Amino acid sequence: MNTLLRAVKIVDKHSPWNGQVRDVLLQGGRIVRIGEALDADGAEIREGKGWCVSPGWMDMRIASRDPGYEHEEDLDSVRRVAARGGFTEIMLLPNSKPVVDAKDTLNYVRQPRPGQPVRVHVAAAVTRKAEGVDFTEMIDLHHAGAVAFTDGEVPIQNADILLKALLYLRPLDSLLINRPEDRQLTLFGQMNEGITSTLLGLKGMPALGEEMMLSRDLKLLAYATEKVGPVNQGNDENSGRNALPQLHVSLVSTARAVSLIREAKAQGLPVSCDVAAHQLAYDDSALMNFDTNLKVNPPFRSPADIAALREGLADGTIDIFVSDHSPHAEENKNVEFDQADFGITALETAFSLALMHSGLTIEDIVEKITANPRRILRLPHVIISENQPANLTIFSPDEEWTFDKSLSKSRNSPFLGSKLPGRVIGVVNEDAQLWGT
């Protein structure tokens, strides 16, 4: 199918056409021409007021429910939800049943779905069953296609496991991802520890639980880096960066955590980090009505923490926005607050929330959901230029839309019924397209 995107603004810092309004002609899954008043030549014309086109968005933190929990989300529904949210590539965490800790499960999750525009990448588990005890066959999983290693929703508590994982993965030039949480300090915690948790009578999850574990991880990274020498500098001249991170810190949420990562980067440690877009939307006072759809981990923190997250995004300390898409069946959310599971369905709203609450420009937001996650995961760079594969997201940043219905199998979102900025028009990934999502 030939498609002509008429008069779209190109949003791609690495493209020679960045910031320009141009026609973009797609043919055979590639960008064949970029220019003004191009002849459609029988192509299907797509146009609209204020439309933008960027490299296809990527989300690198999505809870995998298939296999094992297909009633909450399966591999087809997560692709539909991702496309509606504007994502052409996603990375699934290994926390399915069985856990992605062996090649057969990895191959099942990675299998392509012809005709669908969303490509799935998979992070394999560091330890068997993500239990933090015995290592998986990480070399075999790496060669089988795992793009990173993490125990996903289960933070690695054992320092020796994390250190050895860093050392094992270095020769493979593969990434270790960990969410910093000392589970002894957050045991039975329901929300951020503070005035609101005291007023509600709920066990708090102190910021200290994140910050102590992060400090440990960064010290172990420094030790591993000293032991094995200089890090891989990468060879992607378009990335605009040099050293590739070896440790990726997922879901930072506190002011001190941002400071620790800023200091580590200034010291030259190979570290990167992300924040969930919804983390900017609420502080812990929003939980006064016990809405279980606001129960997330890490929890919504204080206004001072949110201000620090925005500062970290602005100065580049925080590299990536993620959705932290975590679908749950109704019976796991429509219960007493202390019995409810953590997490929200977030793929469809991540871009809108980043646009609404981050204070960043459109270009900077796009950078944090396109070039940065691909660089960190060592995936091919995507650029809007002639004779390049068509991996694109088309969106209207100034257009409001109502999130009145989710395409997810689960409905645990506090944003259902909300009016949000930044409507996704469609996605294109080579020969596959989806419009009006």
Residues catalogued as catalytic: 324
Give every CB contact of residue 135 below 8 A, 6+ residues apart in sequence. Answer: 126, 127, 128, 161, 164, 165, 168
CA dihedral (309, 313, 314, 320) in degrees, to 10, reads -170
d(CA 281, CA 294): 10
Distance of CA 375 to the CA centre of its chain: 13
- Encoded tokens for 66: 């298939």
At residue 304, what are phi and psi to the nearest 5 degrees?
-65, -40
d(CA 292, CA 147): 33
- Nearest-CA neighbor of 327 among 121, 62, 134? 62
Alpha helices (H) along 85-230 = 103-110, 138-143, 159-169, 195-200, 207-228
Alpha helices (H) along 3-112 = 75-84, 103-110
At residue 168, what are phi and psi to the nearest 5 degrees?
-65, -40
Type of residue at 394: I
Q: How far is CA 381 from CA 118, 186, 292, 387, in A?
A: 16, 38, 39, 14
Contacts of the segment 199-205: beta carbons below 8 A, 24+ positions apart: 199/288, 200/287, 200/288, 200/290, 202/337, 202/338, 203/338, 205/297, 205/298, 205/299
Tokens 């299998």 belong to: 111
d(CA 123, CA 299): 24
CB-neighbour burial class of residue 46 (10 A; exposed 0-12, middle 13-18, buried 19+): buried
d(CA 328, CA 336): 15
Type of residue at 426: G
